[in-house]
Amino acid sequence: MAALTKVAAASSLLVVLWVGVCSAVCVEVPSETEAVQGSRMKLLCISCMKREEVSANTVVEWFYKAEGGTDESIYKYNDKKEEFGKRFYGRLQWDGSTDMQDVSISVLNITLNDSGTYTCNVTREFNFEVHRPVVTHSKLIHLTVAEKAGEDFTSFISEVMMYILLVFLTLWLLIEMVYCYRKVAKAEEAAQENATDYLAIPSDNKENCAVPVEE
């Protein structure tokens, strides 16, 4: 009996260590933190993906806290989708994946009053034969909603560089056109001069200029 207890304890320890390793390999993907009034905003939350050979029960809960307020439950996914409260009712949409690795939601027609802190809580219970470990994951998203989109500095620099490039290409094209025009004009002048010189040669000299034909 003691040996069986030790085996069970060792198995439980291995399971806990395995789950801990699985939690460590999660890749954290940052969510956008700025939105524009009236747009659709995706609150990105990535959770550890369960191994395919191990079943697990997953519960996803989303909370919202206004500045200076307290957390209030706004969304829950546990085999079915549920919305809570009046603030976001009818404006929340599940935007996650079927394998429950992506447990994101989207806020539709976002307003200025939706600024605040959003919390994504993921509780995953693994169904092993000798142990049922529970792994939790939590993520905070501090969202700011603006009345209109602000001009991004990178976009501004890109536009400036584009205009500079257009001006440079325009000047280069003009220079090439002037160069080609002058080159063609000089060629025409040279051709005219050669024709004038040829016409100025007497007829006898023109005959002497003929290339002799060898028999």
Query: Is the model's pLDDT at 78 over the cut of 70?
Result: yes
Q: What is the pLDDT of residue 11?
A: 43
What's the fold here for domain 26-146?
Answer: Immunoglobulin-like (2.60.40)
What pLDDT band is residue 127 in, cutting at 50, 70 and 90? confident
Query: Is the model's pLDDT at 132 over the cut of 80?
Result: yes
Domain-wise residue ranges, the chain: 26-146, 153-199
Give the span between the Cα atoms of 93 and 81, in whole angstroms: 9
Backbone angles phi, psi at 143, to 5 degrees: -105, 135
How far is residue 43 CA from its own chain's centroid? 14
Asked if 26 and 48 touch (Cβ cutoff 8 Å), the reply is yes
Q: How many CB atoms lie within 10 A of CB 68?
A: 6
Query: Is the model's pLDDT at 59 over the cut of 50?
Result: yes
Better-predicted residue by pLDDT, 105 or 162: 105
The residue type found at 199 is: L
Q: What is the pLDDT of residue 198?
A: 61
Better-predicted residue by pLDDT, 96 or 209: 96
Q: What is the pLDDT of residue 205?
A: 55
Query: Is the model's pLDDT at 63 over the cut of 80?
Result: yes
pLDDT (tens digit per residue) in 165-208: 888 889 888 898 888 888 888 888 877 777 676 666 665 555 55
pLDDT (tens digit per residue) in 80-117: 899 998 889 999 999 988 888 889 999 999 999 999 99
Q: What percent of the chain has pLDDT over 70?
A: 71
Backbone angles phi, psi at 160, to 5 degrees: -60, -45
Write out the DSSP string of 181-203: HHHHHHHHHHHHHHHHHHHHS-H
The per-type count for the chain, helices as H runs and strands as E runs, is 3, 9
Give the span between the Cα atoms of 130 and 118, in whole angstroms: 36
Beta strands in the chain (DSSP E): 34-36, 41-43, 56-65, 72-77, 81-83, 92-94, 105-107, 116-126, 134-146
Asked if 69 and 83 touch (Cβ cutoff 8 Å), the reply is no
Query: Is the model's pLDDT at 64 over the cut of 60?
Result: yes
Query: Is the model's pLDDT at 20 over the cut of 50?
Result: no
Asked if 15 and 131 touch (Cβ cutoff 8 Å), the reply is yes
Q: What's the DSSP call for residue 130?
A: S
Q: What is the pLDDT of residue 5?
A: 38
Q: CB-based contacts of 104: which residues, under 8 Å, 6+ apart?
A: 31, 42, 43, 44, 45, 46, 95, 96, 120
Q: What is the value of pTM for the model shown? A: 0.57
Q: How many CB atoms lie within 10 A of CB 30?
A: 9
